[in-house]
Amino acid sequence: MKSKRQKGNFHQILAPLLFLLPNMFIFLVFIIVPAFQGLRMSLMDWGVFTDPVFIGFRNFAELLQDSVFWVTFVNTIVFSVSVVGLMVVSSLILALLLKRNTLTGERVFRAVFYIPSLLSMIAVGIAWRFILGDEMGVMNYLMRSMGGPGVPWLTSGRLAMMSVIFVSVWAGSGYYMVIFISGLQAIPTELYEAARIDGSSSWNTFWLITIPLLKSTLLVVVVLGTIASFKAYELIFAMTKGGPGYATKFIVQQVYQVAFMEDRMGYASAMSIILMLLIGFFTALQFAFSGKDQSYE
Amino acid sequence: MKKILLLLSVLLLVSIQLFAAGAQEQKAQQPVTLSVMWFNDANESDVFLATIADYLAANPHVKLDMQVVAFADYEQKLKLMISGGNPPDVARVTNNHLAALISSLEPIDGYVADINAVKAQFMPASVAFALDDAGKLRAYPTEATANGMIVNKTAFAKAGIDVVALSKTWTWDSWEQAVRKVIAANDKIKYGLALDFTPHRFSTMMFQMGGRFLNENQTAMGFNNPGTIAAIEQFKRYHDTGLIPKSVWLGSENPAELFQAGLVASHIGGSWNINTYNKNVKDFEWVVVANPKGAINSSVPGGKFIASFKDSKNKVEAQKLMAAFSDKAHNEMYCRDTFNLSSRVDAQVQYPSNMADFATFKSDLEKTPPFTANEWKHPVVNKVSAYIREQIVEVLLGNITAQQAVKNVDVKGATFF
């Protein structure tokens, strides 16, 4: 009897822990330890080639006065909220259109929409710079050939921000579309059939069946999208280098500039900590709003 | 017996000596793989390998593990490798990299018999970039670079302007008059000037207008001065009046591509553009001309270097390779095939073409005041340069005035002193 209980304990408690151990170890070494190391560095005055000197919270105090940092902070939030919002909508629409496996060429369309997320974001950024460039861009070339004026897609602050948001949504939607498709396909078809028999309109079915049962998938998409958008760098740098001026400069680019060009690793770490807290705050907010998952019963 | 013991002792000593010498020889000839980090302006990594092919053939125990990194990522990668204690054995660096990395480089002094003789082989400005505070040489200069003006000769000719003759005495005012005629006479030419999106290239105009980054003693920032303000205001006026395309400084389009496409009449860029334009420009004739004069004549000196690091694993072999690569014959070959100016004073590079263009760059360098090199060698100028670029763009956008921009830069720069 005792040995059975021991065996049960092993299967129920120890075995899962053992399976989790390698992943937990990797998580500890590559996430937790660097995060604490970053926190420690944020309390130091430290260049790449100089010894760190402990300065307490002075880096954080300086951040409060740093106008450029706050511009990048606001830009990051505007970009992230816009990209996540638009990306959720666009990827959900794509998923709804391509979920059934009944349309001709549906798989081809899925692949076409998914391909941008496989590409290097640097390559995507360079390609779009060639499309939207003022003088050498394809769009303006076409517009001018038709007698119209060129549009300052990347040289006007507001249009540059809109352009990087659009391209980010374009590049990321395919990936989230696949997640949504798997979520949609997991919803039992009986529920839709029952709704149809009860005379529910498509709109009501979408809001009362699809969305509630897709909540957990939606949360995954929003959280992953938020984290990715807060860390966006390559695509934006390749397209605008953060410009014009500070118009598309985000915290990540400022961290890079301060760390590697101004050689202030401690100060850059303090910025990274703020970014981490910002991501944590938005993620917690999303979990709080999502509430409990709906079940099919 | 004593004699036999003495004889045996002598034989023993001699054999130990011979064995030690043999072992040393053997050690020196042990296979070694040098890690080499390089970046390309055009074809430099290929030419480097071709240039030292004879050295590698004569030293079969030396192999290279070459890594070519995009210039945009180069400095960050080097810094991370150095701070991680794992720098390459040999790296190509610019004068800007030297300002940031010089304390991590291995001094050459300990590896050559006469360091003063080595220094004397190179241009003083190039040597100055590679000297640390103690006067030790930390890198071999390979190429000298200069910022200069490259113009679309065909477009100027179409406007009836002999640009080569005019440029011998031109000022910014006469340049402006000329390029306005060029724009009017050529349908395709839309702009007068493209200037690379870097503070380094902007400083060409700034130095010409009498501006500077630091005070005379280089003990503090000195960006807030009439010359710098005049340069920024002139730069803004050129943008506002359509002489300069906004797409470069506001939209990060590549100015070389605009020039190659025949959209701009002139381009202020580095001497390495000769190589690029030789390959890519087919539709019109181009030529390097003297920089327009502002308050003074000036270019901006710079250069490329080859260096090893204090923590490099194979410093001895790295130094031997660098010394060989930097000798007259190898340097001439490398500069000829990469279309670069040589840093060696005794170099007589026979370029397959463009001899006059190189002569113009060199002539501009000779007119350049020495403080320009010293300013770009200063680590603070490097640290604040990204911020300078942002502040200039803020002026171009009309968000702040030139006066506010120079004050902001001085405040920011002061935090690095």
pLDDT in tens, B66-100: 999 999 889 989 988 998 899 999 999 999 899 88
Residue B18, pLDDT score:
47
Residues in chain A with CB shorter than 8 Å from the CB of B79 are 48, 260
Residue A133, pLDDT score:
93
Residue B9, pLDDT score:
62
Cβ proximity of B304 and B72 under 8 Å: no
By C-alpha distance, the chain B residue nearest A51 is B83
Least CB–CB distance from B393: residue in A244, A261, A262: A244
Cβ proximity of A156 and A244 under 8 Å: yes
Confidence of residue A208 (pLDDT cuts 50, 70, 90): very high
A136/B258 Cβ within 8 A: yes
Q: Are residues B288 and B406 in the same domain?
A: yes
B252/A260 Cβ within 8 A: no
Q: Express as a percent the part of chain B with pLDDT over 70.
A: 93
Q: Are residues B343 and B386 in the same domain?
A: no
Confidence of residue B42 (pLDDT cuts 50, 70, 90): confident
- Residue B150 CA to residue B153 CA, distance in Å, equals 9
Provide the pairing of β-strand B32-38 with B62-68. parallel
B104/A155 Cβ within 8 A: no
Q: Which residue numbers of B have CB closer than 8 Å to A's CBs?
A: 75-76, 79, 82-83, 100, 103-104, 190, 197, 245-247, 249-254, 257-258, 261, 263, 382-387, 390, 393-394, 396-397, 399, 416
Task: Say yes or no to pLDDT of A5 above 60.
Answer: no
Largest Cα separation within chain B, whole Å, is 106
By the 10 Å C-beta count (0-12 exposed, 13-18 middle, 19+ buried), A5 is classed as exposed
Q: Is B96 contained in some domain?
A: yes
Q: Are residues B264 and B401 in the same domain?
A: yes
Residues in chain B with CB shorter than 8 Å from the CB of A260 are 75-76, 79
Report cis status (omega within 30 of 0) of the bond before A116: no
Task: Say yes or no to pLDDT of A80 above 90.
Answer: yes
Confidence of residue A1 (pLDDT cuts 50, 70, 90): very low
**What's the CA dihedral at B55, B58, B64, B70 to 10 degrees?**
20
Mutate to test the interface with B, among A63, A253, A262 (most CBs of B within 10 A): A262
A136/B261 Cβ within 8 A: yes
When mean pLDDT is compared across B178-182, B205-209, B277-281, B319-323, the lowest value belongs to B277-281
Q: Which residues pair with B286 in a beta bridge?
A: B152
Q: Are residues B325 and B400 in the same domain?
A: no
Eight-class DSSP state of B326: T
- Residue B317 CA to residue B161 CA, distance in Å, equals 54
By C-alpha distance, the chain A residue nearest B381 is A262
Residues in chain A with CB shorter than 8 Å from the CB of B399 are 245
- Residue B174 CA to residue B180 CA, distance in Å, equals 10
SS3 content of chain A, % helix, strand, coil (to 5): 75, 0, 25
Residues in chain A with CB shorter than 8 Å from the CB of B194 are none
Residue B124, pLDDT score:
85
Q: Is B8 contained in some domain?
A: no
Q: Are residues B318 and B296 in the same domain?
A: no
Return the H-helix or E-strand segment holding A181.
helix A157-185
User: How close is the nearest chain A Cα to the Cα of B246, in Å?
Assistant: 7
User: How close is the nearest chain A Cα to the Cα of B138, in Å?
Assistant: 16
Residues in chain A with CB shorter than 8 Å from the CB of B387 are 262
Residue A7, pLDDT score:
60
Comparing CA positions, the residue from B243, B417, B237, B394 lying closest to residue B403 is: B394
Tokens of B34: 């040098």
- Give all domains of chain A, ordered by start, each with its CATH number: 67-290 (1.10.3720.10)
Q: Are residues B286 and B246 in the same domain?
A: yes
A152/B251 Cβ within 8 A: yes
Comparing CA positions, the residue from B71, B103, B72 lying closest to residue B87 is: B103
Q: Which residue numbers of A have CB closer than 8 Å to B's CBs?
A: 48-49, 68, 129, 133-136, 152, 154-155, 157, 160, 240-241, 243-246, 256-257, 260-263
Q: Are residues B36 and B116 in the same domain?
A: yes
- Residue B78 CA to residue B60 CA, distance in Å, equals 28
Task: Say yes or no to pLDDT of B164 above 90.
Answer: yes
Q: Express as a percent the part of chain A with pLDDT over 90.
A: 69
Q: Where are the alpha helices (DSSP H) in A206-250?
A: 211-213, 215-230, 234-240
Confidence of residue A51 (pLDDT cuts 50, 70, 90): confident
Task: Say yes or no to pLDDT of B33 above 70.
Answer: yes
Residues in chain A with CB shorter than 8 Å from the CB of B244 are none
Residues in chain A with CB shorter than 8 Å from the CB of B397 are 157, 244-245
The pLDDT mean for chain B works out to 91
A134/B252 Cβ within 8 A: no
Least CB–CB distance from B247: residue in A135, A157, A262: A135
Q: How many separate domains does chain B show? A: 2
User: How close is the nearest chain B Cα to the Cα of A224, in Å?
Assistant: 27
Q: Is B190 contained in some domain?
A: yes
Confidence of residue A243 (pLDDT cuts 50, 70, 90): confident
Q: Are residues B266 and B172 in the same domain?
A: yes
Confidence of residue A285 (pLDDT cuts 50, 70, 90): confident
Q: Which residues pair with B237 in a beta bridge?
A: none
Q: How many CB atoms lie within 10 A of CB A125?
A: 24
- Residue B344 CA to residue B18 CA, distance in Å, equals 41
Q: What is the mean pLDDT of residues A187-208?
A: 91
Residue B55, pLDDT score:
95
A136/B79 Cβ within 8 A: no
Q: How many CB atoms lie within 10 A of CB A12?
A: 9
Per-residue b/e over B292-310, b at no fewer than 16 CB within 10 Å?
bbbbebbbbbbbbbbbbbe
Least CB–CB distance from A246: residue in B245, B257, B390: B390
Eight-class DSSP state of B162: -
Q: Is B77 contained in some domain?
A: yes
Mutate to test the interface with B, among A135, A140, A156, A236 (most CBs of B within 10 A): A135
Sign of the four-CA dihedral B163, B169, B173, B174:
negative
Cβ proximity of B333 and B51 under 8 Å: yes
The contacts of residue A122 (CB under 8 Å, 6+ apart) are A234, A235, A238
By C-alpha distance, the chain A residue nearest B261 is A136
Q: Are residues B115 and B167 in the same domain?
A: no
Task: Say yes or no to pLDDT of B346 above 60.
Answer: yes
B79/A245 Cβ within 8 A: no
Q: Which residues pair with A53 in a beta bridge?
A: A45
Confidence of residue B13 (pLDDT cuts 50, 70, 90): low
Q: Are residues B286 and B315 in the same domain?
A: no
User: How close is the nearest chain B Cα to the Cα of A10, in Å?
Assistant: 43
Residue B177, pLDDT score:
96
Q: Are residues B135 and B150 in the same domain?
A: no
Q: Is B23 contained in some domain?
A: no
Cβ proximity of A253 and A271 under 8 Å: no
**What's the CA dihedral at B168, B174, B177, B180 to 10 degrees?**
50
Q: Is B308 contained in some domain?
A: yes
Largest Cα separation within chain A, whole Å, is 89
Containing structural domain, residue B151: 146-301+368-414
CATH number at residue B234: 3.40.190.10
Length of chain B: 417
Comparing CA positions, the residue from A134, A158, A88, A129 lying closest to residue A236 is: A129
Confidence of residue B7 (pLDDT cuts 50, 70, 90): low
Q: How many CB atoms lie within 10 A of CB A213?
A: 20
- Residue B173 CA to residue A65 CA, distance in Å, equals 42
Cβ proximity of B112 and B281 under 8 Å: no
Mutate to test the interface with A, among B96, B105, B252, B393 (most CBs of A within 10 A): B252
Interface contacts A/B by beta carbons within 8 Å: 82
The C-alpha angle B288, B292, B295, rounded to 5 degrees, equals 150
Residue A3, pLDDT score:
56
Residue A276, pLDDT score:
92
Comparing CA positions, the residue from B120, B75, B32 lying closest to residue B344 is: B120
Length of chain A: 297
Residues in chain B with CB shorter than 8 Å from the CB of A136 are 247, 253-254, 257-258, 261
SS3 content of chain B, % helix, strand, coil (to 5): 55, 15, 30
Q: Are residues B326 and B268 in the same domain?
A: no
Task: Say yes or no to pLDDT of A2 above 60.
Answer: no
B253/A262 Cβ within 8 A: no
B83/A246 Cβ within 8 A: no
Cβ proximity of B28 and B261 under 8 Å: no
The SS3 assignment for B89 reads coil
The pLDDT mean for chain A works out to 89
Q: Is B17 contained in some domain?
A: no
Return the H-helix or E-strand segment holding B94.
strand B90-94
Q: How many CB atoms lie within 10 A of CB B71?
A: 10
- Residue B411 CA to residue B416 CA, distance in Å, equals 10
Q: Is B186 contained in some domain?
A: yes
Least CB–CB distance from B383: residue in A49, A160, A261: A261
Tokens of B107: 């001094």
Task: Say yes or no to pLDDT of A19 above 50.
Answer: yes
Confidence of residue B282 (pLDDT cuts 50, 70, 90): very high
A260/B253 Cβ within 8 A: no
Q: What is the mean pLDDT of residues B52-62?
A: 95
